[in-house]
Amino acid sequence: MGSIEHEEKLDRVIEHYKKIREALAGLSDIITINFNDQDFYYAAAVDNLKALHDNMVEVLKASFTPREIRIRLRELEFDEQEAEKVFPL
């Protein structure tokens, strides 16, 4: 696979990662609304969401070099921080 194809594949994978992360954030919001943070179900749900996220990152690392993933994730974090400055939640 050429460098350009590799970059395009990584771009597509990161876009899917963003969508999954948004879905996890949405589920986290639902859990926060419906459960007290001292509730067992809240803790169990949060632990499972974190496990899903961590496993997604591990899948990314298995497909691409850790350096590529770190760079893309940093870019994503920076973009989100900038967006929150303009559109605070």
pLDDT band at 85; cut points 50, 70, 90: low
User: What pLDDT, in 10s, does the model give residues 23-60?
Assistant: 888 898 899 999 998 999 999 998 999 888 888 888 88
What is the model's pLDDT at position 30?
92
Domain ranges of the chain: 3-86
Q: How far apart are CA 51 and CA 44, in angstroms?
A: 11
- pLDDT greater than 50 at residue 5: yes
What average pLDDT does the structure give for the chain? 83
Give pLDDT, residue 48. 92
Cβ atoms of 31 and 45 within 8 Å: the answer is yes
From 75, 67, 83, select the one nearest 17 (Cα to Cα): 75
Output the pTM of the full model.
0.71
